[in-house]
């Protein structure tokens, strides 16, 4: 065995490719965060007047649709054949429709003002928007795994994605509370801003597809149908543990973005201090995880991430009226966001690599689709449970900003932070059953990288 066979040659991904891929992913996620991260629920219930229980029903029905939508697109994208590759056609040609649906979400359709009309508009918009989001986001999600085959090159892409993801997380958190229309107000300014964001997203996502491509065709032809492919994913024990974390991270990100809209209406925490703490936690997390993911391993880093934020979220759910406690809560949330954006995708790459090492088949798209099957309901549940929990403590949607009772304010904190704390504890326990760590796994990774490099030569 020569030296080249012992040590894989690390790949180089062009800066322009990373820049455009991360920009497209950022704008795609920004639109989704603005719409599904509490913005749609707020707009349809608080501004248009849709009953909160009907809005919750929309999200539950939508979760059922995702049981078919996401694995289907993952399955199809693995088998798409075109001169552009398997993923780029969905990104390039879906971007215009995706942006258009986002824009018309914030415009009252000429269906009347009844509860039934509002219910139908919200449901139809959500279905159309998410169908395009799934096609585009699934393709963007798996691109790093096909642009590079080594963990070092992939990690570099994910580090870029973290900083761009701060934008996609920050825009919904900061912008929506500032521009959201109150009931009875003129929504023109709000709608123009949303239109501008949608148009910008289309241009960047579309143009980005000319700057990156799938370099290595790692997937092999399969004869199994979509049902067998889905079952094969769940037979992978590491994937099941991964899904516990993936579901929890998406649920937490969604409910935190939704809860912050209500938090700043009722509490005295200065927004600059809160978001400053969040950004500081995010930067700390990026530096920590990038430095320690190698020596500590993904599994240990994830455990520390889950425990630290579980403590922060638990304290905030009880003592969140105290600004010092709230600042700590925002700080630990930033650390968790950074871990969710960096560590969880690396964990997913290991899960996919393990499946290939056992079966000889590469299923990036299928794993992404089944992952969405699990995480999209997390978005629905987060949107569906927040208001009912808050209302159980006396929250009244009809009251003006800052007029809620002390008990209702406590309900906002519980709805916002208690469930994330519980989910993070479950995640920490589940990592005990995650098998992809240690020297044996590292040896398997090296062997797989050598195989990929030989196939790419």
Question: Any idea what the CATH number is for the domain that residue 335 is in?
Answer: 1.20.1250.20
* Distance of alpha carbon 136 from alpha carbon 130, whole angstroms: 10
Whether the Cβ atoms of residue 5 and residue 450 lie closer than 8 Å to each other: yes
**Measured distance CA(78)–CA(66) in Å, rounded:** 18
Is the whole model's pTM more than 0.85, yes or no?
no
Q: Is residue 456 part of a domain?
A: no
> Residue 4 has what pLDDT?
46
Within a domain: 215: no
Q: Which two tokens stand for residue 398?
A: 């009809």
Residue-level pLDDT at 284: 92
Domain that residue 112 falls in? 15-209+222-447
Q: Is residue 230 part of a domain?
A: yes
How many residues comprise the chain?
457
Residue 433 is assigned to a structural domain of this protein: yes
Q: How far is the C-alpha of 11 from the C-alpha of 152, rounded, in Å?
A: 8
> Residue 11: which residues within 8 A CB-CB, separation 6 or more?
148, 149, 150, 152, 153
Query: Which DSSP helix (H) or strand (E) runs through 230?
Result: helix 226-235
Give the number of domains in the chain: 1
250 located within any domain: yes
Q: Which residue shows structure tokens 């979220």?
A: 313
Centre a 10 Å sphere on the Cβ of residue 384 and count the other Cβ atoms it contains: 21
Say which residues have a Cβ less than 8 Å from residue 132's Cβ, sequence separation at least 6: 94, 97, 98, 101
Domain membership flag for residue 398: yes
Q: What is the pLDDT of residue 315?
A: 92
**Residue 197 is assigned to a structural domain of this protein:** yes
Q: Rounded to 10 degrees, what is the CA torsion of 152, 153, 154, 156?
A: 90
At 249, give phi and psi (nearest 5°).
-65, -45
Flag whether 7 is in a domain.
Answer: no
- Dihedral, CA atoms, 440, 443, 447, 449, nearest 10 degrees? 120
Alpha helices in 106-225 (DSSP H): 115-147, 151-170, 176-179, 188-208
Distances in whole angstroms, Cα of residue 338 to Cα of each of 166, 246, 266: 9, 14, 27
Token match 């449970």: residue? 385
- What is the predicted pLDDT for the residue at 166? 73
pLDDT in tens, the chain (457 residues): 444 444 445 567 788 888 999 999 999 999 998 998 778 988 998 888 899 889 989 988 887 776 677 777 777 777 777 777 778 889 999 999 999 999 999 998 888 779 999 999 999 999 999 889 988 988 888 888 777 666 667 777 877 877 787 788 778 878 888 888 887 788 899 999 999 999 999 999 999 999 987 765 544 445 566 777 778 888 889 999 999 999 999 899 888 878 887 888 888 888 889 989 988 998 898 889 888 888 898 999 999 999 999 999 999 999 988 999 999 999 998 888 888 888 888 898 889 888 888 887 777 777 877 887 787 778 778 878 888 999 999 998 788 888 889 999 999 999 999 999 999 999 999 999 999 988 888 888 778 777 766 655 5
């Amino acid at each position: 065995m020569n030296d080249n066979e012992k040590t894989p040659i690390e790949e180089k991904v062009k800066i322009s490719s990373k820049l455009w891929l991360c920009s497209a992913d950022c704008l795609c996620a920004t639109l989704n965060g603005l719409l599904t991260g509490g913005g749609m629920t707020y707009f349809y219930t608080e501004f248009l007047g849709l009953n909160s229980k009907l809005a919750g029903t929309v999200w539950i029905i939508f979760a059922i649709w995702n049981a078919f939508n996401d694995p289907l697109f993952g399955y199809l994208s693995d088998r798409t054949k075109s001169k552009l590759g398997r993923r780029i056609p969905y990104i390039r040609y879906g971007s215009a429709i995706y942006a258009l649906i986002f824009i018309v979400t914030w415009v009252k359709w000429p269906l009347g003002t009844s509860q039934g009309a509002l219910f139908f508009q919200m449901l139809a918009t959500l279905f159309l928007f998410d169908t395009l989001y799934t096609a585009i986001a699934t393709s963007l999600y798996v691109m790093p795994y096909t642009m590079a085959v080594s963990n070092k090159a992939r990690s570099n892409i994910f580090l870029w994605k973290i900083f761009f993801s701060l934008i996609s997380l920050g825009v919904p958190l900061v912008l929506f509370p500032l521009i959201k229309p109150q009931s009875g107000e003129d929504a023109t300014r709000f709608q123009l801003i949303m239109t501008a964001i949608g148009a910008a997203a289309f241009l960047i996502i579309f143009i980005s597809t000319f700057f990156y491509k799938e370099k290595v065709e790692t997937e092999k032809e399969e004869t199994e149908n979509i049902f067998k492919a889905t079952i094969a994913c769940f037979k992978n024990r590491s994937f099941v543990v991964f899904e516990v974390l993936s579901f929890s991270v998406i649920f937490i990100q969604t409910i935190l973005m939704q809860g912050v809209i209500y938090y700043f209406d009722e509490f005295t925490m200065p927004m600059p201090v809160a978001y400053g703490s969040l950004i500081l936690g995010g930067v700390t997390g990026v530096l920590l995880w990038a430095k320690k993911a190698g020596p500590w391993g993904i599994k240990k880093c994830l455990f520390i991430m889950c425990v630290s934020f579980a403590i922060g979220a638990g304290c905030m759910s009880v003592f969140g009226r105290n600004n010092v406690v709230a600042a700590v809560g925002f700080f630990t949330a930033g650390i968790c966001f950074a871990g969710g954006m960096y560590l969880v995708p690396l964990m997913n790459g290991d899960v996919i690599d393990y499946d290939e090492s056992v079966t000889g088949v590469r299923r990036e798209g299928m794993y992404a689709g089944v992952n969405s099957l699990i995480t999209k309901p997390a978005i629905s549940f987060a949107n569906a449970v927040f208001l009912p929990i808050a209302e159980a403590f006396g929250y009244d949607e009809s009251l003006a900003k800052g007029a809620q009772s002390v008990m209702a304010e406590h309900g906002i904190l519980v709805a916002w932070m208690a469930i994330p704390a519980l989910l993070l504890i479950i995640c920490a326990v589940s990592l005990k059953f995650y098998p992809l760590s240690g020297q044996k796994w590292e040896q398997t990774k090296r062997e797989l990288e050598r195989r990929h490099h030989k196939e790419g030569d």
